Chains A and B, each alone.
Chain A
Amino acid sequence: MNSFLKPITDFGKIDFEGQKLAENISTSILVVSAIISLVAGKMLDNMKLAMYIYLFGFVLTVLVVVPPYSFYNKNPVKWLKKSDFKSGNTILKEKPQ
């Protein structure tokens, strides 16, 4: 990839631990908001309110999960340096990365 495009293509990327965390957060917020909207609709006899609670849960999930917050980037992948493989590593000689 061209180096001048790197800031654009790498925008908002999060590390592997962050991806797992984002998956868990989005799943739990959506399921909990669905349960809350069902209970609130049943209690208050209001269909519109139930739908708005679920919509609010969806918007909240998007706001929490989509932007690359710093707590999603706490465990960056540590790549080995190129100089570590200069002697004796056959895999790297065949397929430089």
Chain B
Amino acid sequence: MNKPISRISSVASFSVTVFMFLVLAISIITANYQKVEDVKVNVQGVTVSKGGPYDYYDKTSSKADFARVKFDINTDLSKLFNWNTKQLFIYLMVEYDNTKNVDNKVIIWDRIIKRNGRKKFNLKKTLNKYLFRDFSLSLRDVKDANLTFVVERIPVMGFFTSRAEYSTKLDFPEIKN
């Protein structure tokens, strides 16, 4: 602390240390674990068809089974926002078992909810945003399929927390041949 340059260095270094503890304290007191009360995901139906769109990187897409899920979402997420929430990442995930693999997870729809954006929405008869197919080409022997609505809270500073808010059973149709 003798010369001005060493005083600047000392103040800068200690200010970064204090800032680290400030960020830690903010991330602890604003931890966002509360549940979403009014969320309703209603599955209208699942249809499975053989052969998807042409994909240069996927030569099997003409032989694989693709599922289309039609669903409604009605929710209000405005209570999840506090002063340390930047945005929310919400997604619908299908978890199922089949004979080839267990615990398959496929994300079929997602949306980013910004801090200044709309937080309450009512989607009707929405189709899955991303292709839903299995690794093994066939969706014939799907067991215990569940559709889960997950909300991931993204803070300005601190830890990401994601939590399954709603889960419903998904009935796959019988596939002949």
- Interface residues of chain A, those whose CB is within 8 Å of chain B, are 11-14, 19, 22-23, 26-27, 30-31, 34, 37-38, 41-42, 45-47, 50, 54, 58, 61-62, 65-68
Residue numbers in B under 8 Å from A68 (CB-CB):
4
Q: Which of A26, A31, A66 has the most C-beta atoms of chain B within 10 angstroms of its own C-beta? A: A66
List the B residue with the shortest CB-CB distance to A42.
B29
Q: Are A66 and B11 in contact (CB under 8 A)?
A: yes
Interface string of B52-86 (1 = CB under 8 A from A): 00000000000000000000000000000011100
Tell me the complex Cα distance, A67–B1, Å: 11
Q: Are B1 and A22 in contact (CB under 8 A)?
A: yes
Partner of B14, one of A13, A30, A46: A30
Take A66-B7, A67-B4 as given contacts and tell me if A46 and B83 are in contact as well, using a CB distance cutoff of 8 Å: yes
| B108: min CB distance to chain A, Å | 33
- The 10 A-B residue pairs whose C-beta atoms are closest, nearest first, are A12-B4, A19-B1, A45-B83, A34-B22, A30-B18, A58-B15, A34-B18, A66-B7, A26-B11, A66-B4
Interface of chain A, main secondary structure: helix
Take A54-B19, A54-B22, A62-B8 as given contacts and tell me if A13 and B84 are in contact as well, using a CB distance cutoff of 8 Å: no
A-B contact pairs, 22 of them (CB 8 A): A12-B3, A12-B4, A13-B2, A14-B1, A14-B2, A19-B1, A19-B2, A22-B7, A26-B11, A27-B14, A30-B15, A34-B18, A38-B22, A38-B26, A38-B29, A41-B26, A41-B83, A47-B84, A54-B22, A58-B11, A61-B15, A66-B11
Residue numbers in B under 8 Å from A26 (CB-CB):
7, 10-11, 14
Residue numbers in B under 8 Å from A61 (CB-CB):
11, 15
Tell me the complex Cα distance, A45–B85, Å: 11
- B25 interface residue, CB < 8 Å from A? yes
| A79: min CB distance to chain B, Å | 16
Residue numbers in A under 8 Å from B8 (CB-CB):
62, 66
Q: Are B11 and A62 in contact (CB under 8 A)?
A: yes
- B156 interface residue, CB < 8 Å from A? yes
List the B residue with the shortest CB-CB distance to A61.
B11
Q: Are A13 and B3 in contact (CB under 8 A)?
A: yes
Tell me the complex Cα distance, A66–B7, Å: 6
Interface string of B1-35 (1 = CB under 8 A from A): 11110011011001100110110011001000000
| A1: min CB distance to chain B, Å | 14
List the B residue with the shortest CB-CB distance to A18.
B1
